[in-house]
């Protein structure tokens, strides 16, 4: 083999070895690129953990980004803060302190004073006359009758006064006024028990409030709640007037103003069921008094009156009804007495609330209602104010009638 051939053979071997080496290097580089990519992704995300923690780490990383961080606090914060701020806004600032019963009686006397009431004016005119002749006594009778005092009470009062004036020789206006005051107090009857049945026993005291439409029944319930709250009683209201859509809302508004809860049902629900649930809730909450507002109804509608009796019976499955208050409009006169008789037959009235007993009313209705029903007037409504409901007292009432402005 000559030198040229040997040289070509060596060169060929070198080329083959070079190509082979290049292929090996390329293969190794490709292998390295194929395995390094997952390792690089895993190293910063989960250096010591398993593949399952990668998602958690990525979520944590996302939560710290400036562009996404406000999203969760903004939506979560109102849900936590709202319940905490609601009581401060709704309950504390809006809960009112009702007026004490004593100051209400002062307003009672002022509202019923001489110049504002027909009966007052008639009585004071009698006292102002120099001579009490037969014409004067007849005018006096007419005044009493026109003031809804009733025939029998009028005759009793006039006869008693005539006897006293004759026997005692009363001629002085001051003496006449004193005699009239004493006889009026007798006929109003201060011996009647006018306390409300609101003393808690083993169960809450339960007060049912009944009456015809338009007498101010739901408003009276709200005002009564204020009277009881002023006496430091825990009160719960039952909105059993389910026929009038606004009744429950109205009652709830009255209650919220003095921090008193209201139990209500759906519109058109069974009133007896709502009353039952209200008394049940009052029992569970250990309330002192549960006041149940019933739907206004015409005394001539037998079905509605029967339903009222049902409400009372259903309530008594939970607790005794300690008070049934009939709300009467003092301006309705004889029609109010007719209503009173029917209601008394159905639900055993224990007391009367006379609304609108101010300048437009005839004060004699107080005496006639008591005579007709045999139950006392316990509360009187004196106007449109939230605290214009006062306990009735015979002496205060008579003194108000005889007060000259």
Q: Which of 147, 120, 188 is nearest to 331 (CA)?
A: 147
Q: Smallest Cα–Cα separation from 347: which of 312, 302, 381, 298?
A: 312
What is residue 293's DSSP assignment? E
Annotated ligand binding at 293? The verdict is yes
Q: What is the pLDDT of residue 23?
A: 53
Confirm whether residue 296 is marked as ligand binding: yes
**Is 218 one of the annotated binding-site residues?**
yes
Question: Is 213 assigned to a binding site?
Answer: yes
Determine the pLDDT at residue 40: 32
pLDDT of residue 88: 36
Is 333 labelled a binding residue? no
Pairing, β 377-381 against β 289-294: unpaired
To the nearest 10°, the Cα dihedral for 68, 69, 75, 76?
140
CATH number among 3.40.50.300, 3.10.450.50, 3.30.310.50, 2.40.30.10, domain 205-349: 3.40.50.300
pLDDT score of 292:
96
Nearest-angstrom CA–CA distance, 79 and 258: 27
Ordered by start, the domain boundaries in the chain are: 104-188, 205-349
The Cα 26–Cα 7 span in angstroms is: 29
Tokens 């019933």 belong to residue: 294
Percent helix, strand and coil across the chain, each to the nearest 5: 60, 10, 30
Instruction: Determine if residue 169 is labeled as part of a ligand binding site.
Output: no
CA–CA distance, 387 with 384 (Å, rounded to integer): 8
Determine if residue 264 is labeled as part of a ligand binding site. Answer: no
Please write down the long-range contacts of 132-136, taking CB distance under 8 Å and 24 or more positions apart.
Answer: 132/165, 132/171, 132/176
What pLDDT, on the 0 to 100 scale, is given for residue 17?
A: 63
Distance CA(396)–CA(399), nearest Å, equals 5
Per-residue pLDDT of 158-169, as tens digits, reads: 999 889 888 888
The answer to whether 289 touches 198, Cβ cutoff 8 Å, is yes
Residues 275/240, Cβ–Cβ less than 8 Å = yes
pTM higher than 0.75 for the full model? no
C-beta separation of 377 from 389 below 8 A: no
pLDDT of residue 252: 92
The answer for residues whose C-beta is within 8 angstroms of residue 251's C-beta and 6 or more apart is 218, 221, 222, 237, 239, 241, 262, 264, 293
Q: Is 4 annotated as a binding residue?
A: no
Kindly provide the b/e burial profile for residues 242-274, where b requires at least 16 CB atoms within 10 angstroms of the residue's own CB: bbeeebbebbbebbbbbebbbbbbeeebbbbeb
127 is an annotated ligand-binding site residue: no
> Which runs of E-coded beta strand occur in 258-376?
262-264, 289-294, 321-329, 351-355
Is 124 labeled as ligand-binding?
Answer: no
Does 357 belong to an annotated binding site? yes
Cα four-point dihedral sign 190, 193, 198, 200 = positive
Kind of pairing, strands 389-391 and 377-381?
antiparallel
pLDDT digits (tens, 9 = 90+) for 4-41: 666 666 766 766 566 565 554 455 444 444 443 333 33
CATH of domain 104-188: 1.20.120.140
Share of the chain above pLDDT 70, in %: 67
- Length of the chain as a residue count: 405
Residues 402, 181: contact at Cβ < 8 Å? Answer: yes
Instruction: Say if residue 317 carries a ligand binding annotation.
Output: no
Residues of the chain under the 70 pLDDT cut: 1-9, 11-12, 14-94, 101-105, 107-122, 124, 127, 297-302, 358-362, 404-405
Q: Which of 242, 182, 251 is nearest to 223 (CA)?
A: 251
294 belongs to an annotated ligand binding site: yes
Backbone angles phi, psi at 31, to 5 degrees: -65, -40
Q: Is 321 annotated as ligand-binding?
A: no
Q: Is 358 annotated as a binding residue?
A: yes
Question: b vs e for 344-373, b when ≥16 Cβ sit within 10 Å of the residue's Cβ?
Answer: bebbebbbbbbbbbbeebbbbbbbbbbbbb
């Amino acid at each position: 083999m000559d030198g040229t051939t040997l040289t070509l053979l060596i060169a060929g071997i070198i080329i083959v070895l070079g190509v082979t080496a290049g292929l090996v290097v390329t293969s190794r580089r490709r292998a390295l690129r194929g395995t390094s990519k997952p390792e690089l992704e895993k190293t910063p995300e989960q250096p010591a953990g398993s593949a399952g923690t990668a998602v958690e780490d990525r979520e944590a990383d996302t939560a710290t980004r400036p562009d996404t961080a406000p999203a969760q606090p903004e939506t979560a914060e109102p849900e936590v803060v709202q319940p905490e701020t609601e009581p401060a806004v709704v309950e504390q600032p809006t809960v009112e302190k009702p007026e004490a019963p004593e100051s209400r009686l002062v307003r009672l006397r002022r509202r019923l004073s001489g110049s504002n009431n027909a009966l007052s004016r008639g009585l004071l005119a009698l006292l102002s006359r120099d001579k009490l002749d037969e014409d004067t006594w007849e005018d006096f009778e007419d005044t009493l009758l026109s003031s809804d005092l009733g025939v029998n009470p009028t005759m009793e009062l006039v006869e008693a006064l005539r006897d006293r004036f004759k026997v005692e020789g009363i001629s002085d206006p001051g003496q006449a006024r004193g005699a009239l005051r004493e006889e009026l107090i007798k006929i109003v009857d201060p011996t009647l028990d006018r306390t409300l049945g609101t003393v808690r026993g083993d169960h809450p005291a339960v007060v049912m409030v009944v009456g015809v439409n338009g007498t101010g029944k739901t408003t009276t319930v709200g005002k009564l709640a204020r009277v009881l709250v002023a006496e430091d009683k825990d009160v719960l209201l039952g909105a059993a007037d389910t026929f009038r859509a606004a009744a429950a809302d109205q009652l709830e508004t009255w209650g919220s103003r003095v921090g008193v809860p209201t139990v209500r049902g759906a519109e058109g629900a069974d009133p007896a069921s709502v009353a039952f649930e209200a008394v049940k809730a009052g029992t569970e909450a250990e309330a002192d008094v549960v006041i149940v507002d019933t739907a206004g109804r015409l005394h001539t509608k037998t079905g509605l009156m029967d339903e009222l009796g049902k409400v009372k019976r259903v309530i008594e499955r939970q607790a005794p009804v300690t008070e049934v208050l009939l709300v009467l409009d003092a301006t309705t006169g004889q029609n109010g007495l007719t209503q009173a008789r029917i209601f008394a037959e159905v639900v055993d009235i224990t007391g009367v609330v006379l609304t609108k007993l101010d300048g437009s009313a005839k004060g004699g209705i107080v005496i006639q209602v008591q005579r007709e029903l045999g139950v006392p007037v316990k509360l009187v409504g004196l106007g449109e104010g939230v605290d214009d409901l006062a306990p009735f007292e015979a002496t205060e009432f008579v003194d108000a009638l005889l007060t000259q402005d």
